[in-house]
Amino acid sequence: MLRQISPSYSFILGLEIKNEIGLLGKVTSAIGEAGGGIGAIDLLEVTRHKVVREIVIIARNELHAQQIVNAVEALSDVNVLYVRDRTFSIHWGGKIIVKSKVPLKTRDELSMAYTPGVARICKAIASDRRNVFYFTMKGHMIAVVTDGSAVLGLGNIGPEAALPVMEGKAILFKEFGDVDAFPVCLATQDTDEIISIVKAIAPNFGGINLEDIAAPRCFEIEARLREALDIPVFHDDQHGTAVVILAALINALKIVGKKMSDIKVVITGAGAAGMATAHFLHIAGVKNIICCDRAGAIYEGRKENMHIFKELLAKYTNPDKEKGTANKILQGADVYIGVSAPGAVSVEAIKTMAKDAVVFTLANPEPEVPPEEIYPYVRIVATGRSDYPNQINNVLAFPGIFKGALNCHARQINQEMKLAAAYAIANVIPEEELSEEYIIPSVFNKKVVKEVARAVSRAAWQTKVARKIRKTVSVIEEAD
C-alpha cells in the first residue's frame, strides 16, 4: 500500500494552545508521530494565557487526516477550534468564471460590442461562415463534454458529480495551453442523445473534448461525431493517454537500447485508454502487443467478455495468440503498461520480464503494482502520480494538441497530428539529458505546449485538414 502523503488531502488545523513554552513542539511531534506532513504554521492571536495558530497538515487520505486530528486532540492544554479541508476550500463556488474581454464603460463601447454594431458582425458571418472563427469565441473555445459515466476512478457518478472534474479540465486547458474551454455535463447516457446534443451545440465551439464516457460507448460516440462534425473531436481518455504513453516510451527505448519493432508490450486494461494505447503503439511500429482484461489475454477467436471493439483489437494484437492471465503473459515482456486497477499484476510477475524492462504503472491514485517494490527489478518505472519520477499526465498532450488544431482551424485531429504530438513531447528532452528518472518532461515545462502546437499545426497542414493556409499558421506559430 502506498504511504505517500498528498496535498490533495491537506487541511488547516485551527488550534488554541496554552501560552507555555514547549507546547507547540508537542503539537508538531504529535502530528509527525501520526505520519502527517507539516506545512505553514501561522500565528493568529496571542494573549497572556493562550496562543491561536493555524497549521497546514498533509495526510495520505481522509482516514489518516482524522487520525492526525485525533492525535492532536488527545494533547492536554490544546483545543482544536476547527478543521478546514484545503481541497474543498478551493472548490467552493466552483473553479471557473466567465469574464468579458471588452470594456463596456461608455455608450460607444456598448454600441460596438452589442447593438447596433454587432449586427454588422452577424451579417459578415452569415455571408461567409468561416468568419465565425475570427469574430467569435469559436476560434479559441473548446467544449469539454461528459455524461458522468466513467469519472476518474469513481465510476458512473452522474453529470453533477462530474462537474468539478470538467471545471478542472477547463482550467488545465487555459493554464497550460491558453485555450478557453467550457464544461458541458449531460443528463443522459444514451448514445444517440449525446451525439444529437453535441451536434446541436457544435456551432459554438472550435473543438469537442470528450471526457469520462464509459467504454465501449465512448468509441461509437467519438467515431460518429468525428464523421458528423467539421471541427476536431478528441476523446482525451483514449488519445491523450496514448500520446503521452508513446512519448514516454520513445525516450525509454532510447535509454534501454531497444526498437519499437522488436519489443513485446503487455497492457492491462481494455477500456478506452488501454485500447487506444494499443492501437496507437501499433501505428507507431510495435508489432507484439498483448492487451489483458479481467478474463486474461485478448486474442482473435476469444469468446469470453468480448464486444465488437475488442474483436477489432484482437485482429492486430497478440500475434502468437498467447492465453492466460496478465501475470503469465508478462514473462519475457519488454514493456508493461497498466491502465487498469491496483493489483492487476504482481511483483513476482514483474520479476519475470525481460532484461532492462520498462514499467508504466498508471492507475491513479494507487498504481497496479507499488513502484517502490519493483525498482530493483526493472530499468525504468513511470506512474500517473506527481510524487514519483516520470509522471504520465495527459496535460502534456491535450492543451497543445487543441492549441495546434485551433491555430490552423483544423477540421479534425487525425493520427498524423497525434503522432506529431507524441514525438514533439518526447523531443522536448534533449537526448543527452535523458535518464531512467527523466523520460518525460514536466507538465510545467513551458516548451511542451509550444512544441506540440507547432507540430500539430504542421501535421494538419501536411494532411490537408487545416482551413488556414500554411503561411498564416506559421505567423501564429511564431507569435506563440
pLDDT in tens, 233-252: 999 999 999 999 999 999 99
What φ, ψ does residue 173 adopt, rounded to 5°? -55, -45
Q: Minimal CA–CA distance to 170: which of 225, 89, 95?
A: 95
Active-site amino acid positions: 114, 169
Q: Take residue 323 and report the three cell numbers written for it.
A: 492465453
DSSP per-residue string spanning 195-206: HHHHHHHGGG-S
Q: Rounded to an integer, what distance in angstroms lies between the CA atom of residue 227 and that of residue 342?
A: 36
Q: What is the mean pLDDT of the chain?
A: 93
pLDDT in tens, 333-360: 999 999 999 999 999 999 999 999 999 9
For residue 476, pLDDT beyond 80: no
The DSSP call for residue 452 is H
For the chain, the maximum distance between any two Cα atoms, rounded to a whole number of angstroms, is 80
Most confident of 105-119, 188-202, 357-371: 188-202
Quick one: pLDDT band at residue 9, thresholds 50, 70, 90? very high
Supply the pLDDT for residue 215.
86
Supply the pLDDT for residue 474.
42
Q: Take residue 226 and report the three cell numbers written for it.
A: 468525428
DSSP per-residue string spanning 178-189: --EEEEEE-S--
C-alpha 334: how far from chain center: 25
Q: Take residue 182 and report the three cell numbers written for it.
A: 467550457
Q: Rounded to an integer, what distance in angstroms lies between the CA atom of residue 282 and that of residue 241?
A: 15
Q: Rounded to an integer, what distance in angstroms lies between the CA atom of residue 70 and that of residue 311?
A: 53
For residue 71, pLDDT beyond 80: yes
Q: To the nearest whole percent, how much of the chain has pLDDT over 90?
A: 89
Q: Rounded to an integer, what distance in angstroms lies between the CA atom of residue 97 and that of residue 182?
A: 10
Classify burial at 416, counting beta carbons within 10 Å of its beta carbon; exposed 0-12, middle 13-18, buried 19 or more. middle
Q: Rounded to an integer, what distance in angstroms lies between the CA atom of residue 402 and that of residue 407?
A: 8
* Bridging pattern class, strands 180-185 and 50-59: unpaired
What separation in angstroms does the CA of 238 have from each of 196, 209, 222, 231, 383? 21, 11, 10, 18, 17
Q: Rounded to an integer, what distance in angstroms lies between the CA atom of residue 410 and that of residue 451?
A: 17
pLDDT in tens, 347-396: 999 999 999 999 999 998 889 999 999 999 999 999 998 889 999 999 99
In sequence order, the 6+-apart residues with CB closer than 8 A to the CB of 332 are 264, 352, 353, 354
